[in-house]
Homo-oligomer: A and B are copies of this chain.
Amino acid sequence: MPKIKIDQFGKELEAKPGENILEVLQREGIDINAYCGGFGYCGKCLIKILKGNVAQPTAQEIKHLKEKISQGYRLACQAQIIEDIEIDIHDSITQKVEVLAESGEAILEELPVKKINIQLKKPSLNQSLSLEEIAENQLPTSPFVRNWTIQALQELSRIENQDEKSFEIGFDEKQIYWTNSDVKKASFLGIAFDIGTTTLACELLDLETGSTLYRAGALNRQASFGADVLSRLRAIQDNQGALSDLQELLLSSMNDLIQEACQKTGNDPNRILSVMVAGNTIMEHIFLGVSPISIGTAPFTPVFCRSYHTSARRLHLVIHPEARVYIFPSVAGYVGGDIVAGIGAHDLENNNSTLLYVDIGTNGEIVLSDQGKIYCCGTAAGPAFEGAQIKHGTRATLGAIHQVEIENSELKIYTIGDVAPRGVCGTGLIDALACLIKGGSIASNGRLQKDNHLLSSRIQAEGKSPYFVLSHDPQIIVTQEDISQLQLAKAALQAGRKVLLHQAKREESDIDQVILAGAFGSFINPESAMTVGIIPRVETVLSVGNASLLGAKKALLSKVFREKVENLAKKAQYVELSARADFQEYFYEALIFEKN
């Protein structure tokens, strides 16, 4: 078997016959960028061969890499291994997401799952009671609880055996889930998850105080199947085992975060007894191992929209096996539990103005709240803003150009970590586009124009395909194709909100406030977003950060909030854009860049 040596790791990996480099790396758990899931289409899985040979470059490699091939650069997903090689994966290695959007504060109300400590009364010969009955009689809500999990019975029987009669008991109005006699381990923990297509975020909470103990983010390991949800749906459609592979990747990403959070805070994962999961509908399907492929094609029907309860055991989450896992209800295939959590967290249904809530992640969801009436839709706005399908696009990691401004008629760029630029991320792209619009270097149809404008010196028109230079050395550019991608994405968002406004019999000018949710929304420059047309021009733009995670946290700490989101999901009016004739009209209109 040929071997792959990786410079950075001092590791040697064995390749199986016929494998390409990406397959070996993924098998070994080494994440590198592979937005398109290994189809040679995104060009992001760039690696360099330091020693040895791989098979002849494919057409895709020649298209993406051109003369770089002679320097040893190859696409990992295309390069077939034929002998021992040594490679450098530095250009595409996935770094820990460095920018974690804030989520906000949640308040401890009535916990959905309660815990109390009791002293088990001694059974007596004269009373024919079982231990479960004796324990229930000591619970405050005793008349309602008449059902234990098997695990809780098992734990109860162990308590009796140890003659340690003081113990804690976890229950809600339906069931008693767990008991524990080791009362020293006093912490009672919960964890809230936002499971996104690209990234996961979580917060570990102390359920007794409501305080956040730890926040962490990570890439969703599923990204190895492709950056956007459609590539994952394709994999599930094509391949029998892909669904369970995807589920496992998601769960292992979550388990890693759990482990990280517990290690860093010195907590025992077995003390995590409540979990809230908010994700888009497809992620929630995969989380439960339910095939989401019916969402992929019209009429985009999900298998379920309701919230579900299950146990950590059922999903192999490495926490207390009877920990309650709650999955947020969603509204439709493209308006998921993450949106429900977010709009719940920001109380959109109890608001008597007209609000627009926009969450741009891998997809773009739009919610219009008109005096508390909720309309919502989903658009395919995503991947371009995450740097996928963009020539020098990158995620918001070290070295990404995340801010672009014109200062004293000069273009200024800023990178994450203030290091040499490695690419441009979504917020940088929007800024760049806004600069071009303001500078007059872009026609209303999106065409770069090298006229007598402010940025003319940075616009190159090599043959028929012009581009905009953000950095000369290393060269980071925005191509005409990149601009087209962004144009399509902004048009989708713009047309989507027009349909919702039409549905609510409102005008764009009626909107009082825009709420930008999600990591992207929290770092984007609102002025640039308005200039480009991603959001309408309004007085107040509020960047709320990870609203979904805030909603998940609130649900962890409040039963009332959980009931509220259940209702919200039911009453939100979903508008299926593809069923609307007016959407196409709005969309074509929205392709125009207006100099506003």
Checking B126, B132, B314 against A150 with a beta-carbon cut-off of 8 angstroms, the contacting residue is: B314
CB distance from A329 to the nearest CB of B (A): 10
Chain B contacts for A592, CB-based, 8 A: none
Question: For the complex, is A588 an interface residue (Cβ under 8 Å from B)?
Answer: no
Chain B contacts for A133, CB-based, 8 A: 305
Question: For the complex, is A574 an interface residue (Cβ under 8 Å from B)?
Answer: yes
Name, among A125, A290, A299, the residue most crowded by chain B CB atoms within 10 Å (CB to CB).
A290
CB distance from A584 to the nearest CB of B (A): 14
Interface size class of A (residues with CB under 8 A): 35 or more
Nearest B residue (CB) for A304: B132
> Bound state CA distance, A290 and B153, in angstroms?
6
Q: A285-B157, A306-B146 are in contact. Are A124 and B314 (CB under 8 A)?
A: no
Judge whether A150 and B290 touch: CB under 8 Å: yes
Question: For the complex, is A342 an interface residue (Cβ under 8 Å from B)?
Answer: no
Question: For the complex, is A288 an interface residue (Cβ under 8 Å from B)?
Answer: yes
CB distance from A155 to the nearest CB of B (A): 9
Judge whether A160 and B294 touch: CB under 8 Å: yes
Judge whether A576 and B128 touch: CB under 8 Å: yes
Nearest B residue (CB) for A331: B128
Judge whether A157 and B291 touch: CB under 8 Å: yes
Copies in the complex: 2
Question: For the complex, is A292 an interface residue (Cβ under 8 Å from B)?
Answer: yes
Judge whether B124 and A288 touch: CB under 8 Å: no
CB distance from A227 to the nearest CB of B (A): 23
Nearest B residue (CB) for A133: B305
A140-156 near B? 1/0 per residue, CB < 8 Å: 00000010101001101
Q: A131-B294, A150-B290, A290-B150 are in contact. Are A157 and B303 (CB under 8 A)?
A: yes
Question: For the complex, is A39 an interface residue (Cβ under 8 Å from B)?
Answer: no
Checking B148, B237, B574, B579 against A304 with a beta-carbon cut-off of 8 angstroms, the contacting residue is: B148
A window 135-179: CB within 8 A of B: 146, 148, 150, 153-154, 156-158, 160-161
Chain B contacts for A331, CB-based, 8 A: 128
Chain B contacts for A148, CB-based, 8 A: 304
A303-331 near B? 1/0 per residue, CB < 8 Å: 11110101000100000000000000001
Judge whether B131 and A302 touch: CB under 8 Å: yes
A124-B299, A154-B291 are known; give 10 further A-B pairs, CB within 8 A. Answer: A125-B298, A125-B300, A125-B579, A132-B304, A150-B290, A154-B289, A157-B303, A160-B293, A161-B291, A161-B293
Q: Rank and list the top 9 A-B pairs by shortest CB-CB distance, nearest first.
A: A157-B291, A123-B301, A125-B299, A125-B579, A157-B303, A130-B305, A153-B290, A128-B574, A132-B304
